[in-house]
Structure 1
Amino acid sequence: MGKSAYLPTGQKQSQHLADAAGTQSGHRHPAPGKHPAGQRQPALGRRDHRTSNRQPQPGNHHHLTMQQERVRQAVASLPETQREVLALAYFQGLSHSEIAQSLNQPLGTVKGRIRAAMKTLRQLLTTERPNY
């Protein structure tokens, strides 16, 4: 598989970020007390409800785009075996055991590859931070 096979598209990244931020179009949390009977409103929902009227800052889009590009380049620089396990864990949501089984690799090997990949990414992304 090529390097880009394990990377989400820009559209998927944007949608994921929008979903995580609760900004998906039409996405609204019910007003307090309006949840289906017997369900309590989660704390995160209350927090999202309070901050849902915030406007995006003008410079944030450029900063976010630059940050996404740095992450994409850092992931692309990893060895294929490390990219593969990261993609399965973080983009497809598989557990370490499921990854080991699907790749026919020992669990310790999978965990070691993920740990090594995360260490490399941390080093790459915490050094030489560009000014946005």
Structure 2
Amino acid sequence: MYIGLTYLVTFFVIVISAFVTLFIKYELEQMFREKKDVPAFHICNLIIVLMVSVGAYAVMTLYVAGSDFKLFPNTAILLAVILPIYLIGHLAFEKYKSVYEKYRISEDEKVIVLNEKYLKKKRSARFKEYNAMGKEDRTKRAGASRRRYY
């Protein structure tokens, strides 16, 4: 009973930490303007997720289940759980990155292709009403309070 609860809590910790580290990796790649995936970021992310999951599993095993914690067999099991979750998360972030990218640039900083999906995104109806009110006001009194006469 307690072992199942321990693995369930550890699974949630793995999923959350994998997606947080992947998001940080994505932001770092944008900050450094990397065009391709950097293997060092993936290795660091896997180590971070492994450390967090081993810590969560150790705490749950010792304090909730009340049993012994064996580092090496449990680490191997957790690594076998982490790798597929991390791979699925990485593929999801790659798809997210390609769908919502505004454009792609070449080596000499020129725009190559505008993303059609980004251009076809629906705009909010609130902005349409805002623009419609500005177009209806033909008397030029909309900004009268901001005008200054010298």
TM-score after normalising by structure 1: 0.30
Q: Give the number of the structure whose alpha-carbon radius of gyration is greater.
A: 2
TM (normalized to structure 2)? 0.27
Higher strand share: 2
